[in-house]
Homo-oligomer: A and B are copies of this chain.
């Protein structure tokens, strides 16, 4: 278990480095879409929710998991769609400019 923890830590640290490098390059123009886009990504909690909700036997765990599934799905779907709506505007411009 402690093994897994450290393996997880390694992955976490590396991913954080990537996050900092990648995000730091994004220009201010795109900060609002970035915020909502990364917010959509944080909906990845849905994966955890699915794993927890998947049990056949009803239990508190499953119920909590199902609520989590609904909430996380809202986060994911809403986040990506709203980001796309914003970016669509940027896109249009490009063709014009």
Show the binding face of A for B, using Cβ within 8 Å: 7, 10-11, 14-15, 17-18, 21-22
Chain A interface helix/strand/loop/mixed: helix
Q: Which of A11, A18, A22 has the most CB of B within 10 A?
A: A18
- Could you say how many copies of this chain the assembly holds? 2
Q: Which residues of B contact A17 (CB under 8 A)?
A: 18
Q: How far is the CA of A49 from the CA of B75 in the complex (A)?
A: 48
User: Complex Cα distance A14/B7, Å?
Assistant: 13
A26 to chain B, nearest CB (A): 12
Contact between chains at A18 and B14 (CB < 8 Å): yes
Q: Within the complex, which residue of B14, B21, B22 is in contact with A15, where a contact is CB–CB below 8 Å? A: B14
* Interface contacts beyond A14-B15, A17-B18, A18-B18: sample of 9 additional A-B pairs, CB < 8 Å, sorted by A: A7-B7, A10-B11, A11-B11, A11-B14, A14-B14, A14-B18, A18-B21, A21-B21, A21-B22
Determine the distance from Cα of A22 to Cα of B14 in the docked complex, in whole angstroms: 12
